[in-house]
Amino acid sequence: MVQLYVSFKYDITKDFEIKKALAILKSSNIISGIELPVINQDIEGIQEAGLKVSSHNPGLDSTLNLGDPNFLDIFSTKQGERIIEVARKSDAPTVGFHCGFSAEKVINMAGCPCIPFPGTLIVDRNLLLQRIAGNLSGLEQRINSGPEFQRKQLVLESVDYSRQTSIDWSSQKEEALKQREYIEKVIKNHGINIGYMFISEPDFVNGVLNLAAGQSSIPPGFLFDVAHIFISADAKTTEARYNKIENYIDAIMNVSKGRTYQMHLAVPFGDDKSGYIDSHRLFAKGDILAERLLDIAKKVINSTPELKVVTFETRTNFGPVEHAKAMVKQADYVLNELGLSVSR
């Protein structure tokens, strides 16, 4: 049995619509709570409404890049103290963190991979592996140095390695627009995944988890984001790094076997002709791509008895009440398709 969480991208206030939406989630009897990246008072507001909280990349931009050599410095600040507090106060047994980038700093991009900031690319694979493992174990030591009942299973989430694609500059933020000439030159010379070197390789993931395990009181596990893995598998198959999509998925499953404690579920956008992007779409009956993702999820679940948490990392354009209703429908449909039982 697993705990089930959903995404809820709304400010938790005393607004009646928000309270009504939270009540809908609570009354579902299958949804445990909400997964959050924020460290504001939303966590307390959700818990006061009778729902649980799963903490994912608490602090968001401050904790997205385990490849940053100064990653752990934030924990000597008030913001860092709050990140630790939120992780400990969360209800899920897991706390997830993205593995980050093969760069010390990146330029955030819309609709395509992030690009290394000038002079920050990390080309030494072993250096990057040791740095990510060290930062991950440093996180674990800080979060789990508190009371035993607040200790968490940290899980590492790999990012999505994408097919080569053109950039839609009309959708980019000012940070990227200021660096347009540099970004276009980097992509021309190195490809669009230059900031994702090594980190989506199964052997690299295995190396990070193994090294971090030896430095942690509770060895970190893996967060299997089905959409991320599928997008990476498609891109790497297109580049002829793997013969079939299934081969890459199997390779990731092999290195994460016995330590996959959390799963993210959502449907990407795209097709076999042009590739896929992470768009957090809902699952729908009759959607061929959604059914492919569910088949992958079933395969992982059937070989992962240690799985503790499943999160619907799906987004809608609805208001809070309609979003909550959609999440309940998603839960009913997907849990039935996967044959999963939940424990609130």
Tens digit of pLDDT for each residue in 177-200?
999 999 999 999 999 999 999 999
- CA separation, residue 132 to residues 82, 138, 211 (Å): 22, 10, 10
Q: What is the pLDDT of residue 165?
A: 85
The pLDDT mean for the chain works out to 95
pLDDT surpasses 80 at 13: no
Q: What is the pLDDT of residue 19?
A: 92
In angstroms, rounded to a whole number, what is the distance separating the alpha carbons of residues 304 and 317? Answer: 33
Q: What is the pLDDT of residue 81?
A: 96
- For helices 288-302 and 320-338, the axis angle rounded to 10 degrees is 60
pLDDT digits (tens, 9 = 90+) for 297-319: 999 999 999 999 999 999 999 99
Higher local confidence (pLDDT), 148 or 61: 148
Q: What is the pLDDT of residue 125?
A: 98
Q: Where are the alpha helices (DSSP H) in the chain?
A: 16-27, 42-48, 78-89, 125-143, 174-178, 180-190, 202-213, 226-238, 245-256, 288-302, 320-338
Give the mean model confidence (pLDDT) for residues 277-298.
97
Q: In the chain, what percentage of residues exceed pLDDT 70?
A: 99
CATH number listed for the domain at residues 3-338:
3.20.20.150
Residue extents of the structural domains in the chain? 3-338
Give the mean model confidence (pLDDT) for residues 78-88.
96
Structure tokens at 60: 């968001």
Structure tokens at 199: 């980190």
Report the largest interatomic distance among the alpha carbons of the chain, rounded to a whole angstrom.
Answer: 54
Identify whether the C-beta of residue 264 lies closer than 8 Å to the C-beta of residue 296.
no
pLDDT surpasses 80 at 230: yes
Q: What is the pLDDT of residue 344?
A: 83
Give the mean model confidence (pLDDT) for residues 322-333.
97
Q: What is the pLDDT of residue 92?
A: 98
Q: What is the pLDDT of residue 293?
A: 98
Q: What is the pLDDT of residue 111?
A: 82
pLDDT digits (tens, 9 = 90+) for 101-135: 999 999 999 888 999 999 999 999 999 999 999 99
Q: What is the pLDDT of residue 164?
A: 87
pTM of the model: 0.96
In angstroms, rounded to a whole number, what is the distance separating the alpha carbons of residues 59 and 39? Answer: 6
Q: How many residues does the chain have?
A: 344
pLDDT surpasses 90 at 41: no
Confidence class of residue 14 from pLDDT cuts 50, 70 and 90? low
Q: What is the pLDDT of residue 316?
A: 95
